[in-house]
Amino acid sequence: MPRKTVQKAGAVLLALAAGCMALAPVAQACTRLVYHGADGNIVTARSMDWKLDVATNLWAFPRGMERNGEAGENSFKWTSKYGSVIATGYDVSTTDGMNERGLVANVLWLVESDYPQFDRKKPGLTIAAWAQYVLDSYATVDEAVRALEEEPFTIVTDSVPGETRLTTLHLSLSDASGDSAIVEYIGGRQVIHHDRSYQVMTNSPVFDQQLALNAYWKQIRGTVMLPGTNRASDRFARASFYVNAIPKAEDPNRALASVFSVIRNVSVPFGITTPDEPNISSTRWRTVADHKRGLYFFESALTPNTFWLDLKKIDFSPETGKTMKLDLGKDQDHTYSGDATAALVPAEPFRFLGPQP
């Protein structure tokens, strides 16, 4: 059974839906979904929606990297156990990625996030490295959840680069078995939702309420009507319906095509402005991770082609593997096509952004 379940009757759901719609204007508009296909074919997709260029590049990290939580005195430290391919935010944080064992991590905006006070009694981990720590350290969702439940560190947030507001995120995890988890900090406490059925995550409201809203739309049935706006709650309902309505194709390329069509369906058109809802932002890019084949696809809103990195072709060994970078350019407008693994070039690792002493 799910660790967190929400069961509401029709009248309560309607009231909750109305309340969550009121929260929508303060949400950044990213979406994450997990497809459960035929023959163990698991695919995770996400959109990155942001009002400005998020300065994303792709990086490949080998095993054996010494990491620092970048929280000043008493920072959390670890050594990477698994190699990974990741997409950055501003080249100071890991926003998305997959490791060589097929574990995927995505961070999305959640304005309701409230992190515990960093009193330095427990080691601190910058929120910029939260997803990277999980990718470095665990092979499955269950393994990651069991470790995170022990709360070995305190998440330490900082301002968004170039802004005064604090970074407020929640973390989604998925693995090659199709398992999923959502990790949030609400009221200063960590809340973990762990179940294979948790295939979709968007932004506000908190995940408990997202599940309640989805239950309401399931009563209506997606073949009758689906909400069509760019609000987080509407995107959640559409993604939840379509990710399970698309065919369970045995051909993995057909399955990928279906998943791409769903993540595009819940994307925000590039250049769109919503004057009365200023925090609904254009989709800048999308990623699609094929867990079984170890392929990490990237699609920019400003280039005509989709391309991928093949994790099986990357040297992740600590002895000979190197940190590698694929420069995507301003607004991710550099064009790549097909398998772009060979275009990765050696680079010095970036430093995760953390609070300055």
Picking from 107, 56, 104, the residue whose alpha carbon sits closest to that of residue 82 is 104
β-pair partners for 182? 172, 193
Q: Which positions ≥6 away from 313 have C-beta within 8 Å?
A: 339, 341
Q: Within a 10 A sphere around the Cβ of 9, how many other Cβ atoms?
A: 10
Q: Which positions ≥6 away from 164 have C-beta within 8 Å?
A: none
Strands 58-61 and 84-89, bridge-based pairing:
antiparallel
From CA 35, how far away is CA 183, in angstroms rounded? 19
From CA 89, how far away is CA 58, in angstroms rounded? 10
| 20 belongs to the catalytic site | no
Catalytic residue among 20, 24, 30, 129: 30
From CA 130, how far away is CA 55, in angstroms rounded? 19
From CA 331, how far away is CA 325, in angstroms rounded? 16
Q: How far apart are the first and last CA of the chain?
A: 44
- Please list the helix, strand and coil fractions of the chain in percent, rounded to the nearest 5, in that order: 25, 30, 45
Label residues 171-209 b or e (16+ Cβ within 10 Å = b).
bbbbbbebbbbbbbbbeeeebbbbbbebbbbbbbbbbeb
Q: Which residues are catalytic?
A: 30
